[in-house]
Structure 1
C-alpha cells in the first residue's frame, strides 16, 4: 500500500475515533445533567460530520479525494473545531495564528485541485502554479476577514478581536488580529509553495495528486 494513502487512512481513523469518543463522553455528561455539555455535543458532532462528509461524498459519487488536500482538511477541522471550540484551545496564545498557517496550506492545495478541472494545467510552469496557489490562499483569507467583519457589525460579535474587556480598541491595536491572520495565511501558503515548487521540479506528475479523480469501472 502506498505510504501516502496509509498515512491518510491512519489520520482519518485517528481523527474520527477521537472525535467520536469525545462525542459519546459529552453525550453521557449531558445525560447526567452537567452544565456546558449541550454545546460540547453540538461542536463535537459538527466536527465529526465535517470530517466524514467528504469521505462519504467520495464513496457515493465515486471519486478519489486528493490525499494532501484531505490531510490538511482533517488537521484543520481537528484543531479548529474539535480542539479549538470544543476544548477551548483558542485560549492558548497564537493558536488562531497556527490554524491560519494550516489553512494557508489547505487553500493552496484547494487552488491546485480546482486547477485540475482545466485542460491547460499541464502547460503551466512550476513558478506560476505556486504563485497562483499563494494568491488564491491569500484571497480566500481576505474573504474570511470580510466574513468576520460583517458578523461583528451585524451581530455584535468579536471575531476580529477588536474588543478588549468590552471596550473597542483603537488604531494599530484594533488591526493586530486581522493583520496577524492575513500574515499567517500568507506564511502558510508560502511555506507550502516552496516545498511544492521543489516537488514539481523533481516530479512534474506530483501535481496530479491534488486533482479529484473518478473511480475507474474496475475499482
Structure 2
C-alpha cells in the first residue's frame, strides 16, 4: 500500500511539473508572439487532463503507472518534441515516440477487446489470438489515421509534420507496428498461459469488476 501511495505521489508531482513548464511556455509564446507554440502549449495542457477525464466518465480507475506513462509520452511528444524542437535535434526522437505509441495504443486496444470479451451481454467468445490480433490492428489503425492527419495539416496549413514525407510516414508505420506487435504478443500470452504482465495486472487490480467471467452458454459463439 505504501508503494502504491508513493507511485501516486510521483504521478501528481510529474503532472504538476509538466503543467508548470507548459504555463511557462505559454507566457514565453505570448511575449514572443509565437502563436503556433502557444496553441501547442495550451492543447498539451488539455491533453494532460484528458485521460483522467475519460477514465472518470467511464468509471475506470487509471493506475498511477498508466498515468505516469501517458503524461511522460505527452510531455516528450509535445513539449520536448514540438516546443523544444527535439524532432530536429535528435533523428531518433520521432521513431522512439512512434514505437512507444504503438505499445500504448496496442495496450488500449487489448484492454478494450478483453473487457468486451468478458461482457455477459455480448453473445460471443473471442479466442486469445483474435483478441491479440485486434489489439495489433487497433494500434495500427490509429497510427494510420494519425499519418492522414499529419498529411492533411501539412497540405492545408503548410506545416512540416511529416518531415521527409513518404519516408517519414513509412518509418512511423513500421515502428508503430513493432510497438503494437510487442503488446499483442504479451496480451496473447497473458490470456493463453495466464502469464502476469505487470501493466495489465495493475489495471485489473484497480478495476476488478472487469475480471468477472462471462457465463458459458450453449448458444455462445466463438472466434
Match of 2:96 in 1: 98
Answer whether contact 1:26 1:37 (CA < 8 A) is retained.
Answer: no
Match of 1:149 in 2: 151
Provide Cα deviations, 1:165-204, integer angstroms capped at 9, x if missing partner: xxxxxxxxx5210110000100111122233334332348
Deviation at 1:122, TM superposition (A): 9.2
Give secondary structure in 2 for the equivalent of 1:147. helix
CA distance in 1, matches of 2:107, 2:2: 20
CA distance in 2, matches of 1:133, 1:4: 28
Aligned-pair Cα RMSD in Å: 3.7
- Confirm whether residue 132 of structure 1 aligns to residue 126 of structure 2: no
Deviation at 1:97, TM superposition (A): 1.0
Give secondary structure in 1 for the equivalent of 2:94. helix
Match of 1:209 in 2: 203
How do 1:107-186 residues align onto structure 2 when only pairs under 5 Å count? Answer: 107-115=105-113, 116-117=115-116, 119=119, 123-162=125-164, 174-186=165-177
CA distance in 1, matches of 2:176, 2:15: 26
Distance 1:48-1:69 versus aligned 2 partners, 3 A rule: same
Query: What is the aligned counterpart of 1:190 among 164, 172, 181?
Result: 181
CA distance in 1, matches of 2:129, 2:208: 28
Deviation at 1:93, TM superposition (A): 1.1
Give secondary structure in 2 for the equivalent of 1:161. coil
Provide Cα deviations, 1:34-68, integer angstroms capped at 9, x if missing partner: x3676555433432321123324545664323666
Question: TM-score, normalising length from structure 2?
Answer: 0.70
The unaligned stretches of length 5 or more in structure 2 are 210-223
CA distance in 1, matches of 2:66, 2:15: 17
CA distance in 2, matches of 1:159, 1:202: 41
CA distance in 2, matches of 1:198, 1:27: 45
Distance 1:47-1:155 versus aligned 2 partners, 3 A rule: closer
Tell me the number of residue pairs that the alignment of Structure 1 and Structure 2 aligns.
Answer: 201
Distance 1:62-1:202 versus aligned 2 partners, 3 A rule: closer
Deviation at 1:27, TM superposition (A): 5.5
CA distance in 1, matches of 2:2, 2:166: 45
Answer whether contact 2:77 2:97 (CA < 8 A) is retained.
Answer: yes
CA distance in 1, matches of 2:205, 2:152: 33
Answer whether contact 1:148 1:160 (CA < 8 A) is retained.
Answer: yes
Answer whether contact 2:37 2:83 (CA < 8 A) is retained.
Answer: yes
Deviation at 1:155, TM superposition (A): 2.9
